[in-house]
Structure 1
Amino acid sequence: MRILKEYLVSPDKLKKKVELVNLSFETTKELSSGETIIGQERAIKSMDFGLQIKKSGYNIFITGLTGTGKTSYAELSLGKFAKHEEIPNDICYVYNFTKPSLPLCIELEASKGKELKEDMKKFIEKLKEVIHTVFLAENYEEKKKEIIKDYKEKRNQIIEELRIYAKDKNFLLKSTTSGYITLPMIENKEITNDEFETLEETLKSEIEENSEKVQQKALEVLKEIEKIEKNSEVKLIKLKEKTGLSIVKYFICCLQTKYLTNKKLYNYFIELKEDILKNLDIFLPDEDDDEDEDDEDDKINSLKRKTEKELFLKRYQVNLLIDNSNLEGAPVIVELNPNFQNILGKLEYDNDKGSLTTNFMKIKPGALHKANGGYLVLQAKDVLTNPYVWESLKRTLKSNKIYIEDIKEQVGYVTIASLKPEPIDMNIKVILLGPPYIYSLLYDKDEDFRKLFKIKVAFDYEMSSNDKNTSKMVYFIAYHCNKDNLKHFNYEAVIKVIEYSNRLAGNQDKLTTRFNELLEIIYEADTYAKIDNSEYVLGEHVQKAIEEKKYRHNLYEEKVYEQIGSGKVLISVEGYKVGEINALSVVDIGDYTVGKPNRITATTYMGKEGVINIERETNLSGNIHDKGLLILKGYLGEQFAQNYALTLSAKICFEQLYGGIDGDSASSTELYVLLSSLSDCAINQGIAVTGSINQKGEIQPVGGITEKIEGFYDICKIKGFTGSQGVLIPKKNISDLVLKDEIIEAVKEGKFSIYAIDDIKQGIEILTGQTAGTKDSTGRYPEGTLYHKIELRLEKYRKELNCTNIKQ
């Protein structure tokens, strides 16, 4: 028993006792709210630097496990930092009078975009009103009538001259609905065609000759009338432009004066003036607007004209794409659905009688437009899984310009004629959030990623369990009690939460930073406190929340233990057996980790096959497990094959295992069962084992140690305690023990034991109760030791095998 006690782990080392030495309180109600981000000093420092540097390519990738607070920290830190930065410009799109298919982008100081939009609206309304008034005024009408009168007088005078000329040639100039016609006369009297045919040939020839002269004169007159008519039209246009110019020029000058510093907008106003002067009729009422429209067709035509005017006047509107008037600092945009259009913007279309139409007012912003001059937060996985978003985002970051594109063009579809809005100059810092594996993939496989995301902000999944961090954890609980309107936690409940954090970290010297999982327990404990009508959340409520959460997820575990308890899965927890051992393992089912013991058996016999792993032969083992077996062979060779070749055949099997196995945590266990079979020394079945080995026989730490121990403890509890049961673990894993209180009490009472070792010989001595042995000066193990028995067995195999070979 001296050997056993030497390696026993004392109960006080099975879980860290949490002490809040710097705080004195009864409930968190007495405490102020603390920091929401704890234990991420590296990430905070990296983030601060990433936000400070303004050079191209210094975008940020925040990486870490889910639940470590990446997203909440990004929003919080960006919000604080952005408040002290300049508010970016407003962005507007206006009509391009030179190239209508290429809308112009206008940038103005924050809040000026809204003013421009309103100013343009008032400008058009006022212009319509004033133009209507001026063009209906007597002064304009008189000038217009004078031009028309002058035209009519000249026209009538020319026609009268034509009439006199025709009469002189014995022709009558007669007005009809289709124009003027000439009719021959004799003695000032019209003649008909019949009468014309009865005339003498000489007279007929004279009339025909005069008819040609009159027709020639008529053509000259018509040309003269056309000339006069064009001159009159020009005069009317000039009158209209002159009258309109004074009005339009005044209003345009007012706009140009207000926005004098914006050269691009100033030039736009010049083009605006020219376009309005060309289209003054749009601002005037139709001549028949004041007439009664009893006819249905007239009503339809009038409505059509009004609609056409309204559509035409839309070219003078302003599309305020981005309005930053309500910002306090730079924008911070978190895009939860980063599809192509939500990131890069889009053009909307109207269905007009089966045809798709659009205009510059249909340009809609994306997240890049909204975040311009600030920060855009995206989930890396969502960006990568949405078609064409990642490549388009990289292209935008490289060019520092935002193009509004049609996704159909990316796909290669034939697109309808559309607009090509002028690209917008971009100044954005993009923050991507994602797990470490996405960062590694992008860094390794995408060269652009290295150039564009030069700042890595790594969130740790754990932090040191020191007084500073435990105090912060207490304030963290107080913060969420206040923020989420929860019942406050008493001292014992706070201790339970910190212990649970310790357990999630899987190390006595660490606390988890997966705060989402802690918040689940905090919220659920609050619910149980409300069910109990308790004023505060007590330790029992936290404990119940932890146990109930486990109960919701551990159905698989119960089924496994049920099969072991019923004997369907063969696991012995008492007595001694040769070539059999219980290995500690864990099964990760996604939302829960099950500690599950496995029975390993070994058979050894004469032969040259060496050590064979049945799982490997049947393709049920992974690479790491296979590596562990090769290490095991290396240890055997060093210990027992320095003078002669290792001649044996051995098979190792994980019994009743059908789903495969990986990892090297069972390599020491496989070695123990193999040593047991070779030495014919029985192993205590009440002690389960875990730990990996190296070729020198040193025991190395493994993962999931707490779950492994608790799994075997539960099996012993089901089958019944004998007082000699326990587990054998690597000494290096002692600091990883965060066992439940029930096991700690069992250890104190002597019902369950935990042994920690750092060498394979220590383990085999505990399991068999026999001394392993140390080589003497001759290179052999002392007689009576377990390793000496193995030497004798191997020598027997070698000699018998040699004899067999000689006989053959």
Structure 2
Amino acid sequence: MKNTPLAPTQLYKPCNIGHLTFDSTTELEDIEITVGQERAMDAIKFGIRIHKNGYNIFAMAPAGTGTLTAVRQLVEHEASRQAIPSDWCYVHNFRQPATPLAIQLQAGQGKTFKADMEELIDELSVAIPIAFEGDGYRSRAGEIESQSRQREINEFSELRDSAANAHIMLSETPTGYSFTPATEENQEISPEEFNKLDKDKQHEIQQAIIGLQERLTQLLKKFPTWRKEAKRKLQALNRETAELAVNHSIDELIEKYAKQPAVLAYLQAVQKNIIDHVGDFIPHGEKMFPFMEMPQESDPFKRYRVNLMVDLSDKKSAPVIYEDHPNYSNLLGRIDHQAYMGSLVTDFTMIKPGDLHKANGGYLILDARKLLFQPYAWETLKRTLQAGEIRVESLERALSLISTSSLEPQPIPLNVKIILCGDPLIYYLLSEYDPDFHDLFKVAADFDRAVAREDASLNYARLLATIARNEKLRPLSQNAVARVIEHSSRMTGDAEKLLIHLRSIKDLLTEADYWAADNGHPHITNSDVQQAIDHKIHRLDKIREKLYENIHRGTVLIDTEGKVTGQINALSVLQLGEFSFGQPSRITATTRLGSGKVVDIERETELGGAIHSKGVLILSSFIAARYSRTSPFSIAASLVFEQSYGFVEGDSASLAELCAILSSIAQVPLRQDLAITGSVNQLGHVQPIGGVNEKIEGFFDICVKKGLTGTQGVIIPETNIKHLMLRWDVVHAAENHQFNIYAVATVDEALELLTGMEAGIANEQGIYPPESFNGQIAAQLQHFTMLKKDFDKKSEL
């Protein structure tokens, strides 16, 4: 019979102080926070160095593991070895104003080009008005206008003289021109006097007036043509004057950017547009001629400005951008609008860059969860990567929610490496449900929460030193480092592992630093670390305290002494936020004559999960296969978690349930001073479970409340021994033989501990010794079978 408890040395794996060859962490050098993450780091290096489409990276790690920091450090190091990408800017499209042009420039030239255009505008704003105010321009313009007016005056004078020779007066009226007869002294003849003239004279005058009116009509038809000619001459003069003022400044820029075709073409378009709209450079008050008096824009020079979208003049390497709020506009950019005269207006200067613009030619790091939470951000990112270009458009327009005209900026070619950081669950869900995911994110970097503890103490101490320095905390003493290492193993639930969840470590060190300051310690000591651990538990354990209080007061029934048939103490773990604790639960089983069915009351009431139901089915198969291979399985059994009013899930209680059923069948009582945890398979082997430390401590706390007897303890799977990192009070109780931890590999070993009987081994004929526990079960099942046969015979009669 195997009933020897585990040695205290098996319950806790202390840190070997001999491996920590320092007095405090001030003596230790910094270390990369990616210690133990070689697999993930290799994947990221591969992903950022392969320059092929689709080889973007998904870094899989739970929040708080330092993934983002590690990725940024690695990417920034890689980016420092790469050339600075291009600047990008938008300029006005003079042919199609609604489609601004994108111009690519060498890094740093975008800022220079923008300044050059601003300087050009300033120069022309001065040079053009001066040119048009000069004496030469005024003289020539005045001559053209004078000639045009003189021509009209001469023609009118000639017509007036012809009329005077015919004794007809030409006069101007509010409605036009009129001819009236006159005397030889050029006195107007009244209608009465005209009627007194003889008919021949009247006819002669009328014919003369008709002829003069025809000449006047022809003359008035010529005036618009003559004025157009004068206007064309003035426009030619204006163009000539503007070219003299503009060409010098523009030619300097054309020469400067002669090797850049896109800029050169734009400058030539600017030159033509300025000459065609030279009037915009002359203020209204200074305009001299009617042909220039046309409505002006509020800022006519805006169309010549440069909207610098990407300025890398201050960069020394490829950009690395992290976006904390990856919504549609922040990723893709946006087109702003301005209220004007009761409406919203926009232009190319209101195009704002997004993260894809800023990271173009470099790296963009995003939080996958935040990205997926933003409406249409994920689909937009995929579409942009697939198209290989950044197309700025409003979300409303992209979704066809509006049909108003707007800007359609020329797309910018995209060359960026995307690194998504997120929980592994997000990666697997996207892999399963998004057919585009693996086409775009071919590299998975899988970060681990824990690393092997063996021979890692010194590197872990360097990690603690690095975190303490980065967070400006006190250095840790040697014993403090040892305590953190031990607690790190406890947080992983594995004595052979160390936690590398940086947020948890940083929080522990921050709180220990607070207590060190409160205690007046220059260094963080062992007691400061323990105080931080204890205080955090105290902040979170109110519910545990209430549950244990109910057990102690008898409200929740848990026995820690005596023996009861068909009743056993099982152990479960409750997880409440960052705090988890063990909770003992009473399981009872009843058996009777039946048809071989084990009723799981939790499942029947829909309070049991699928895994729990699976465990019950496995144990029922085990009982039937072991004890009723050659005869009917003629029992009915019922299982229930007593005083359980919530959902039950998991199979870690299947060993306890099996022992309770077998106890009820054999009518052999089970020890109530022992609690048990473990799952079982169909062959009777005990399998490991999670939360073993919390489960043991949970029953220990109940026993302490009720009083330790020295016989109390917990039965755990043998395969869970390597996970034990129990509290010191539990270890001390085990050292003093006040509390015992037993490890079992089979159901029989557990039954021997719970009943104090030999389990018994079947002989070659499959018969168990009658005095053994298995023998009594076999006998009882045989009795049930006989009763079933007698019952069936009576039913047939």
The TM-score range, normalised by the shorter chain, is over 0.9
Contact 2:596 2:633 in 1 (8 A): no
Pick from 603, 611, 620: which aligns with 1:616? Answer: 603
SS of the equivalent of 1:605 reads strand
Unaligned runs of 5+ in 1: 291-301
Which residue of 1 is the match for residue 107 of structure 2?
A: 110
Residues 1:163 and 2:150 aligned together: no
- 1:439-454 alignment, distance < 5 Å: 439-454=427-442
Pick from 375, 383, 404: which aligns with 1:416? Answer: 404
Which residue of 2 is the match for residue 247 of structure 1?
A: 245
Which residue of 2 is the match for residue 295 of structure 1?
A: none
Fraction of identical pairs, as percent? 37
Which residue of 2 is the match for residue 663 of structure 1?
A: 650
Q: Cα distance 1:78–1:197, how it changes in 2: closer, same or farther (>3 A)?
A: farther
Measure, in 2, the Cα distance between the counterparts of 1:697 and 1:548. Answer: 42
Partner AA of 2:781 in structure 1: L
Deviation of 1:199 (Å): 3.9
Pick from 254, 271, 286: which aligns with 1:256? Answer: 254
Which residue of 1 is the match for residue 469 of structure 2?
A: 482
Q: Cα distance 1:147–1:650, how it changes in 2: closer, same or farther (>3 A)?
A: same
- 1:347-386 alignment, distance < 5 Å: 347-386=335-374
Pick from 547, 553, 576: which aligns with 1:560? Answer: 547
Pick from 380, 386, 393: which aligns with 1:405? Answer: 393
- 1:160-559 alignment, distance < 5 Å: 160-175=157-172, 180-187=177-184, 188-288=186-286, 308-467=296-455, 469-559=456-546
Measure, in 1, the Cα distance between the counterparts of 2:74 and 2:660. Answer: 56
Deviation of 1:588 (Å): 1.8
Measure, in 2, the Cα distance between the counterparts of 1:414 and 1:205. Answer: 74
Structure 1, 434-443 or 582-591: larger mean CA deviation: 582-591
Contact 1:408 1:415 in 2 (8 A): no
Deviation of 1:309 (Å): 4.7
Deviation of 1:600 (Å): 0.6
Deviation of 1:672 (Å): 0.7
Partner AA of 2:94 in structure 1: F
Q: Cα distance 1:767–1:228, how it changes in 2: closer, same or farther (>3 A)?
A: same
Which residue of 2 is the match for residue 41 of structure 1?
A: 38
Which residue of 2 is the match for residue 767 of structure 1?
A: 754
TM-score by length of 1: 0.95
Partner AA of 1:110 in structure 2: A
Contact 2:715 2:750 in 1 (8 A): yes
Residues 1:638 and 2:625 aligned together: yes
Deviation of 1:151 (Å): 1.9
Measure, in 1, the Cα distance between the counterparts of 2:134 and 2:341. Answer: 40
Measure, in 1, the Cα distance between the counterparts of 2:244 and 2:18. Answer: 84
Pick from 561, 566, 570: which aligns with 1:574? Answer: 561
Deviation of 1:170 (Å): 2.9
Measure, in 2, the Cα distance between the counterparts of 1:197 and 1:537. Answer: 130
SS of the equivalent of 1:172 reads strand
Contact 1:388 1:410 in 2 (8 A): no
Partner AA of 2:138 in structure 1: E
Contact 2:513 2:524 in 1 (8 A): yes
Deviation of 1:21 (Å): 4.5
Contact 1:169 1:214 in 2 (8 A): no
Deviation of 1:20 (Å): 5.0
Deviation of 1:197 (Å): 4.3
Per-residue CA shift, 1:165-193, capped at 9, x if unaligned? 22233322234676644332232322234
Structure 1, 267-276 or 141-150: larger mean CA deviation: 141-150
Partner AA of 2:365 in structure 1: V
SS of the equivalent of 1:432 reads strand
Partner AA of 1:256 in structure 2: I
Deviation of 1:16 (Å): 1.4
Deviation of 1:617 (Å): 1.2
Contact 1:162 1:221 in 2 (8 A): no
Measure, in 1, the Cα distance between the counterparts of 2:544 and 2:773. Answer: 37
SS of the equivalent of 2:299 reads helix
Deviation of 1:310 (Å): 4.4
Partner AA of 2:490 in structure 1: R
Per-residue CA shift, 1:202-236, capped at 9, x if unaligned? 33333332222111111222233333222221111
Which residue of 2 is the match for residue 149 of structure 1?
A: 146
Contact 1:507 1:735 in 2 (8 A): yes
TM-score by length of 2: 0.97
Q: Cα distance 1:621–1:194, how it changes in 2: closer, same or farther (>3 A)?
A: farther
Partner AA of 1:679 in structure 2: A
Partner AA of 1:498 in structure 2: I
Measure, in 1, the Cα distance between the counterparts of 2:459 and 2:163. Answer: 113
Per-residue CA shift, 1:32-72, capped at 9, x if unaligned? 22222221111100000001011111111111112111111
Contact 2:457 2:485 in 1 (8 A): yes
Unaligned runs of 5+ in 2: none
Which residue of 1 is the match for residue 724 of structure 2?
A: 737
Structure 1, 319-328 or 281-290: larger mean CA deviation: 281-290
Measure, in 1, the Cα distance between the counterparts of 2:284 and 2:787. Answer: 121
Measure, in 1, the Cα distance between the counterparts of 2:191 and 2:93. Answer: 63
Deviation of 1:420 (Å): 0.8
Which residue of 1 is the match for residue 2 of structure 2?
A: 3
Structure 1, 719-728 or 278-287: larger mean CA deviation: 278-287
Which residue of 1 is the match for residue 699 of structure 2?
A: 712
Structure 1, 562-571 or 86-95: larger mean CA deviation: 86-95
Contact 2:124 2:245 in 1 (8 A): yes
Structure 1, 580-589 or 220-229: larger mean CA deviation: 220-229
Partner AA of 1:331 in structure 2: P
Structure 1, 192-201 or 747-756: larger mean CA deviation: 192-201
Aligned length: 792
Q: Cα distance 1:200–1:563, how it changes in 2: closer, same or farther (>3 A)?
A: farther
Contact 1:172 1:185 in 2 (8 A): yes
Per-residue CA shift, 1:356-377, capped at 9, x if unaligned? 1111111111111111111111
SS of the equivalent of 1:594 reads strand
Contact 1:349 1:357 in 2 (8 A): yes
Structure 1, 760-769 or 191-200: larger mean CA deviation: 191-200
Per-residue CA shift, 1:64-97, capped at 9, x if unaligned? 1121111111221112111221111111111111
Residues 1:24 and 2:21 aligned together: yes
Deviation of 1:549 (Å): 0.8
Contact 1:35 1:475 in 2 (8 A): no
Deviation of 1:722 (Å): 0.6
Partner AA of 2:13 in structure 1: K
SS of the equivalent of 1:4 reads coil
Q: Cα distance 1:700–1:166, how it changes in 2: closer, same or farther (>3 A)?
A: same
Partner AA of 1:174 in structure 2: S
Per-residue CA shift, 1:330-369, capped at 9, x if unaligned? 1111111111111111111111121111111111111111
Partner AA of 1:557 in structure 2: R
SS of the equivalent of 2:436 reads helix
Structure 1, 408-417 or 332-341: larger mean CA deviation: 408-417
Deviation of 1:194 (Å): 4.3
Q: Cα distance 1:11–1:144, how it changes in 2: closer, same or farther (>3 A)?
A: same
SS of the equivalent of 1:3 reads coil
SS of the equivalent of 2:366 reads strand
Which residue of 1 is the match for residue 767 of structure 2?
A: 780
SS of the equivalent of 2:2 reads helix
Partner AA of 2:80 in structure 1: K
Partner AA of 1:765 in structure 2: E
Which residue of 2 is the match for residue 299 of structure 1?
A: none
